Structure 1
Amino acid sequence: MPQRSPQTILLTGATSAIGAALVTVYARPGVTLHLHGRNRSKLDAIVQSAQTQGATVTQRSFDVRDSATLRAWVADCEKIGPLDLVISNAGMNINTGPDESGEAWEEAEALMAVNLHASRVLVDAVLPAMRARNAGQIALMSSLAGYFGLPVTPSYCASKAAIKAYGEALRGWLGKEGIGISVIMPGYVDSVMCQEMPGPKPFLMQPSRAAALIRQGLARNKARISFPFPLNFGTWWLAVLPAAISVWIVGLMGYNGHHD
């Protein structure tokens, strides 16, 4: 079953704002962290900090779109010991551009490969061992943008909506086998990726606070870890209301496709 205090954790996207903050909240003596990040120098610094906190750390730097390498990394980590918690956090974002010309197809394909396909590969790689021992926990990084699509980031919203549905389906399937599945749905968390996204950013949260909420939610094996509450409540309603009303509300909020 999911553990309140996992001892072995695998995390992709450890060099992102949320990823680095998650390393900080989980690193302590007795914990083994298997960390992935594309930025090798930043990953080195994060690893050193986690080791200073007393954690045992391994690290790999590669493109998660390389499915064979991703699977091989999981296998190498499992040789060290069973994975208690796997957090699929690697992600990217694109937008329709300052002139609203639209998303570049190659970038949209890369986004889907990173945000969606790599998460599915990771799940497929870790599930056999977890199912064999009827234990383990998987966290998938979605977003409040998965409730209703924003005009400025169509592909990002699509990928996060897909992750949300995928995680919810996995939970219904695997819960009876003792495997916890949680979908993480943050709002705006201060980061380079967030700042590069067009449009307003209400209730902007610091990564340390987001990581603390994620850890609390995973310890409780929550199906959906969504925050902050006001934005979660509002975006949930966007999914419930008739689409025409939701589109109108989104436009009023400033998500109208214009990059002012």
Structure 2
Amino acid sequence: MTGASGGLGSAVARRHAGPGVILSLWGRDSQRLEMVATECRAAGAEVTVRSLDISDVGAAVAALQQEDAAHPFDIAVFSSGRGDVRAPGDLVEEAGMVARLAIVNFAAPAAMAAALADAMARRGSGRIVLVGSAAAFHALPFAAAYSGTKAGLARFADALRLSVKAHGVCVTLVSPGFIDTAAGRKVPGPKPMLMAPDVVADRIVRASEAGRAHLVLPWPFVALRWLDRLLPRPLRDRVLGGLTPPEK
């Protein structure tokens, strides 16, 4: 589990915790990570933690392969990511921020998922969950890097799913809307249909267990995805252009 020190990742970790379960929890916030690990151990799970920055993609992949070689993973949930948007007063997003999001939101989880999918395929079983965002389906002018990197992850997840399906590996893409987490609350603007992390975590676990290819939640975001596709481009552009959060 990557992103285990975050609101959603910790909820998914607690949902999996129980007697006989071995959890490997990864996260940037070491203090928060230890708190989540303590909760999972109290539920009966055996837990190891790893605090690292996955923006060092090579080191992250090597650490994942090392852990998998020692104790092969049955399921991996990649839920880490950044939700940075355009800074107030800027015309476009800062180039360095775009690069950071490209690594953390796309390159790192994609590379790690590919490495693990290969090992799982050779074993003939396994489940991988990639947590994206409903923003992947909309060209958000104030969050071009975020929506763009999540769009890349969505296409990668679908392609990876097709490549390993015949080898007994299930890949599930999760595209949630707004989640009531500390990181989510920092995003400016209204947050319609805000979801509790525990509710989202439960849906993620059930979708993975059922072998679903794609989970979009809450359900109205499915309709919004189709609306974005079907609207004439001038009207769609007008709608999206009006979504920029007001500056404080």
Which range, TM-score by smaller chain? over 0.9
Give the counterpart letter for 2:15 in structure 1.
V
Aligned pair partner of 1:27 in 17, 21, 25: 17
Alignment partner, residue 51 of structure 1: 41
2:79 matched to 1:89? Answer: yes
SS at match of 2:102: helix
Q: Displacement of 1:249 after TM fit?
A: 2.8
The superposition leaves residues 104-143 of structure 1 with CA deviations (integer Å, 9 ceiling, x where unpaired) of 1111101110000001220232123211111111111111
Aligned to 2:243: 255
In structure 2, list runs of 5 or more residues that go unmatched. Answer: none
Letter in 2 for 1:256: T
AA aligned to 1:148 is H
State whether residues 161 and 171 of structure 2, in contact with CA within 8 Å, keep that contact through their aligned partners in structure 1.
yes
Q: Match of 1:139?
A: 129
Contact persistence 2:114–2:160 (CA under 8 A): no
Which has the larger displacement, 53-62 or 129-138? 129-138
Instruction: Look up the match of 2:155.
Output: 165
Distance 1:101 1:142 in 2: 26
- Tell me the equivalent position of 2:70: 80
Instruction: Determine what percentage of the aligned residue pairs are the same residue.
Output: 29
| 8 Å Cα contact 1:187/1:232 also seen in 2 | no
**2:93–2:142 CA contact under 8 A, matched in 1:** no
Q: CA RMSD in A?
A: 1.5
Does the 8 Å contact 1:94/1:103 carry over to 2? no
- Matched residue of 2:99: which SS? helix
1:66 match: 56
**Could you say which residue in structure 2 is the equivalent of 1:8?**
none
Deviation at 1:257, TM superposition (A): 5.7
For 2:173 and 2:233, locate their aligned partners in 1 and report how far apart those are by CA, in whole Å: 24
Out of 220, 224, 243, which is 2:233 matched to? 243
Shift of 1:192: 2.4
Confirm whether residue 118 of structure 1 aligns to residue 108 of structure 2: yes
Query: Is it true that 1:211 corresponds to 2:201 in the alignment?
Result: yes
* Alpha-carbon contact 2:3-2:78 (below 8 Å) kept: yes
Equivalent residue, structure 1, for 2:120: 130
Query: Helix, strand or coil for the counterpart of 2:192?
Result: coil
Q: What SS class does the counterpart of residue 181 from structure 1 fall into?
A: strand
> Which residue in the other structure is 1:12 paired with?
2
Given that 1:143 and 1:187 are in contact with CA atoms closer than 8 Å, whether structure 2 keeps it comes out as: yes
Q: Secondary structure at the match of 2:174?
A: strand
Structure 2 SS opposite 1:169:
helix
1:79 shift after superposition: 3.1
Superposed CA deviations along residues 63-106 of structure 1, whole A, max 9, x for unmatched, are: 10112321222123223322111111110021111224321111
DSSP-derived class of the 1:126 partner: helix
For residue 232 of structure 1, the aligned residue among 222, 231, 241 is 222
Tell me what 1:5 maps to.
none
TM-score, structure 1 length as denominator? 0.90
**Structure 1 moving runs of 4+ over 4 Å:** none
Flag structure 1 segments of 5+ consecutive residues without an equivalent. 1-10
Residue of structure 2 aligned with 1:191, choices 177, 181, 190: 181
Q: Contact 1:135/1:177 (CA < 8 Å) preserved in 2?
A: yes
Q: 1:14 touches 1:43 (CA, 8 Å); kept in 2?
A: yes
Give the Cα–Cα distance (whole angstroms) in 1 for the partners of residues 235 and 183 of structure 2.
28
